[in-house]
Structure 1
Amino acid sequence: MNYFIFGGSGFIGTHLVNLLYEKYPDAIIYNLDIVESNHSGKSNFIYCDVRLEIDLKISASEQDIIFNFSAIHTTPGHPDHEYFETNIKGAENVTAFANKFNIKKILFTSSIAPYGASEEMKDENTLPMPNTPYGISKLVAEKIHMVWQAKQEASRQLTIVRPGVVFGKGENGNFTRLYWGIKKHRFFYPGRKDTIKASIYVKELVNFMLYRIEMDIADVEIYNCTYEPAFTIEEISNAMMKATGMKRTIYKIPGGLLKFAAGVIGALGGKSFGIHPDRVKKLMISTNVSGKKLKESDYKFQYSFEDALKDWYKDNDNLYLK
């Protein structure tokens, strides 16, 4: 059996390669990406731009498995058209590759962005109402994968995961910025402490992915991949400080003032502070996503939220989180 990981050089892909290599050291793992990495010999890197037709000079069979992580995802950070070019064309080309070799199983990593920004609780049955180019492109990509499965619904398995904030070693994203903001006394609660931020540890996420894809079943399932219940920004900050031995007082200041300060700092070239008006705005809006379906499935979590933070800290030699 071969594993084809589109976008495998990224954060989640790297952790999946590590897990696959640990469990199946004799398996052939292909990392198909535009950024080179063979994960220290654990995978076979092949340059692949999913925006273009995928024509690989390798053998594949219907027993193989596809993980599709390819995406433009950082927001803010890209012109609108780039989200559509990569996320939609990528879905079309990856599913065409699966068609060519009659591959039966795809796991597609989507996002909670298709739900749109609102305070209301959202589960897998909530009507998606994306309000960003990223969220719209991800929802369209989900539908493209669903069309692929529907063409042979009696034999194809499609799993769509919608992770919350994914954290762990190599993330360099929201949780990493939060940690360094607290550590350097640069983080403040923007107008509120009760903003809900759905999240999942990267090792938990890839363990669930492998658990799910190894089921011998033909179906379509969507899973919100988050801890249940989701935690508030205050709970996350306190757990992070406890896990890393920090003692800090985090003050709450008006959100408008913090957005103004972020704009001024950004205009003065202060990118090293890691704050942006759009990121401050995102901090003030909950990502209130239910992980109840995952929690009530047969999958058994390996890490509590506190254990996950401790494990991440341990992965960095108990020095920091990054």
Structure 2
Amino acid sequence: MKIAIIGGSGFVGTKLIDQLNKSIGSPIINIDKVESKKYPSITSIGNVLDRPALVRLLNGVDVVILLAAEHRDDVTPVSKYYDVNVTGMENTLYAMQENNVKRIVFTSSVAVYGLDKENPNENSPIDPFNDYGKSKLEAEKVLEQWYAEHSDWNINIVRPTVIFGEGNRGNVYNLLQQIASGKFMMIGPGTNQKSMTYVGNIVAFIQFLITTKTQGFHLHNYVDKADLSTNDLVSYTGKVLGKSIPTIRIPYWLGLLGGYGFDILAFLLRRKLAISSVRVKKFCAVTQYDSTKAMSSGFVPPYTLEQGLERMLKNEFSVSTKKN
């Protein structure tokens, strides 16, 4: 089968191509608005907002994996979330239909559940708190409606929690970098549970869906268990790196007040800053999700959560590793 990855030039997409090349060996094309640094030879420049280009590029494809998304916390204007995440889905489905492609894997997000929920599973109430989560939910609804009218299609939706791994420069990397540097400041008590996903496991799960969930409509959360608290992350980082991690603690209300101050500063400077009230809220929130369905599907993660963290910490922050 020929596989098209839409939005495969980034961190997850590159790791997914690595995984598929190693395990399946099927022909792969990458469609992205930027060229892949690792896989330029299989990359075609295309945008989910360019419907005619998608129609042309999906010719001869059997399976589509839709990774493309607008996902940063500070995207402006907020309409970009809906343009890319929702209209992009509509354009992808149109192009697939034009090419008689009937199989899609879509990476949504646990952001559809909202913050501080009690370990939601796939049947839990939906309550997104930001435009990213709302736009991902709308994209899911587009897929659900499409399946209601195209029952012969095969649709897999994955809702991963925050993804981390070697080479990633997202929120988990920034948090671990602060901890490893000894300049970490704990906001709140640090007891809030954090569900996380190691990139080596999520790409293996996507491969599992492609090869085993070949018919019907399927929805899965994806989380690597067991969950760690923020305090656990600090402790484990120190253990792996052989460091004693000093931690300054400040009350939540003070941290949030500081976040609002950075919001005002960002507005005045017309710049995106590393600290904001949204990021303070997300840092202190319980972001714990249930992945029982995925873990009872027959899929076995290649790595434990601790192994994934250790691989990333040693690759990114270990002095001995960098010297060698």
- Shorter-chain TM-score above 0.5: yes
Corresponding residue of 1:302:
302
Pick from 167, 178, 181: which aligns with 1:184? 181
- Cα distance in 2, alignment partners of residues 179 and 216 from structure 1: 35
CA displacement, residues 86-139 of structure 1 (integer Å, 9 cap, x when unaligned): 111011011112111221211000001111123322110012111211111100
- Cα distance in 2, alignment partners of residues 243 and 230 from structure 1: 18
Structure 1 residue runs of 5 or longer lacking an equivalent are none
Corresponding residue of 1:85:
83
Q: TM-score, normalised by structure 2?
A: 0.89
Does 69-78 or 271-280 show the bigger shift? 271-280
Pick from 102, 105, 108: which aligns with 2:106? 108
Matched, 1:22 2:22: yes
CA displacement, residues 191-211 of structure 1 (integer Å, 9 cap, x when unaligned): 121112111101100001001
Corresponding residue of 1:138:
136
> 1:144/1:273 Cα in 2 relative to 1: closer, same or farther (>3 Å)?
closer
CA contact (8 A) 2:3 2:64 kept: yes
**Mapping for residues 54-203 of structure 1, pairs under 5 Å:** 54-55=52-53, 56-58=55-57, 60-61=59-60, 64-153=62-151, 155-203=152-200
Higher helix proportion (structure 1 or 2): 2
Corresponding residue of 1:244:
241
Deviation for aligned residue 1:162: 0.6
- Cα distance in 2, alignment partners of residues 187 and 119 from structure 1: 26
Q: TM-score, normalised by structure 1?
A: 0.89
- Cα distance in 1, alignment partners of residues 128 and 255 from structure 2: 26
Tell me, what secondary structure is at the counterpart of 1:122? coil
CA displacement, residues 29-48 of structure 1 (integer Å, 9 cap, x when unaligned): 2111111116245x511111
> 1:244/1:3 Cα in 2 relative to 1: closer, same or farther (>3 Å)?
farther
Deviation for aligned residue 1:214: 0.9
Which letter does structure 1 place at the counterpart of 2:176?
Y
Identity of aligned residues (%): 28
Which letter does structure 2 place at the counterpart of 1:162?
R
CA contact (8 A) 1:33 1:47 kept: yes
CA contact (8 A) 1:9 1:33 kept: yes
Paired residues, what number? 316
CA contact (8 A) 2:234 2:245 kept: no
Deviation for aligned residue 1:166: 0.3
Deviation for aligned residue 1:316: 4.4
Corresponding residue of 1:12:
12
- Cα distance in 2, alignment partners of residues 314 and 24 from structure 1: 29
Corresponding residue of 1:210:
207
- Cα distance in 2, alignment partners of residues 74 and 138 from structure 1: 13
> 1:216/1:285 Cα in 2 relative to 1: closer, same or farther (>3 Å)?
closer
> 1:149/1:246 Cα in 2 relative to 1: closer, same or farther (>3 Å)?
farther
Structure 2 residue runs of 5 or longer lacking an equivalent are none
